Amino acid sequence: REKYGLPPFDVSEKNVHILPPDLFKRAFNDSPALANHDPYQQIITANSEKLRYQDNRLSVASSLFHELEHLQGFVSLDARQKDDKIKRSTRRIGLAISESYAKSDEDEWYESFKGLNEAVVSELEQRYAEEVASASSDQTTQEELKWLNSEEALSLKKKAVENGNFSEDEILWISRDGKRWLSKPYRQHRRVLKYIVEQVSEDFSETIEEIYDRFFKSHFTGNILEIGKLIERTFGPGQFRVLGMMSANY
């Protein structure tokens, strides 16, 4: 946030709530996720059952860091008064757009860029989650990170993806016997983002990292027009709107 000229703020551990699985599912419409965030209350909630199942520290840290990035991103709310009560709805979360109450009244409500939003947040997650986990003073966490970066773990990762369609770099965690492993989230979304970044980079003669940085900046500042112009110039008029159709479940 400081890098992009925004005031930094901390999200306290008091804003992270571990819920029983039934309550978590009711709160988030049977979401299969390990954790979710609430932009209204600025909290992160996690499914206690999935936390217990994930018997590794890196995937838990990575998931919570992902939701933290959502909370640290741009947020805009829409509000209206009805029957002496104030109703509220999200208009923007990061790059994701939801239409206003006025448009909803006109039967023109829609959501856009949810998939792109997850791609950008997930890319940030992949870059910094291990750094976040490595800052822990917990000995078990440090031993796990040492194992995951060992030659033995790398060999097991390569073996795990022999018959797959992605590389060992997409494995977040693997057990010491190589029988269980977890892949990094939103792989397809990040592949789309990577392709876009590479094409825009070539067209604008900027480095790939500079183009990625433009997307990260938009997530935090809310200025989505900048990347929209880049995409329209590279891929043609109307293609930014097409990108907005990529859902978070793609």
> pLDDT tens across 56-76, in order?
888 888 999 999 999 999 998
Considering only CA atoms, which of 221, 173, 169 is closest in space to residue 194? 169
Task: Report how far residue 31's alpha carbon sits from residue 29's, in angstroms, rounded to the nearest whole number.
Answer: 6
Matching residue, tokens 């919570």? 64
Task: Report how far residue 62's alpha carbon sits from residue 184's, in angstroms, rounded to the nearest whole number.
Answer: 9
Considering only CA atoms, which of 236, 241, 235 is closest in space to residue 197? 235
Q: What confidence tens digit (pLDDT) does each residue in 196-228 have?
A: 999 999 998 899 999 999 999 999 999 999 999
Q: Would you say residue 28 has pLDDT above 70?
A: yes
Length of the chain: 250
Considering only CA atoms, which of 7, 110, 126 is closest in space to residue 63? 126
pTM comes to 0.89
In order of 47, 113, 126, 230, the CA distances from 157 in angstroms are 27, 32, 17, 36
Task: Report how far residue 94's alpha carbon sits from residue 96's, in angstroms, rounded to the nearest whole number.
Answer: 6
46-67: b or e for each residue (b if 16 or more CB lie within 10 Å)?
bbeebbeebebbbbbbbbbbbb
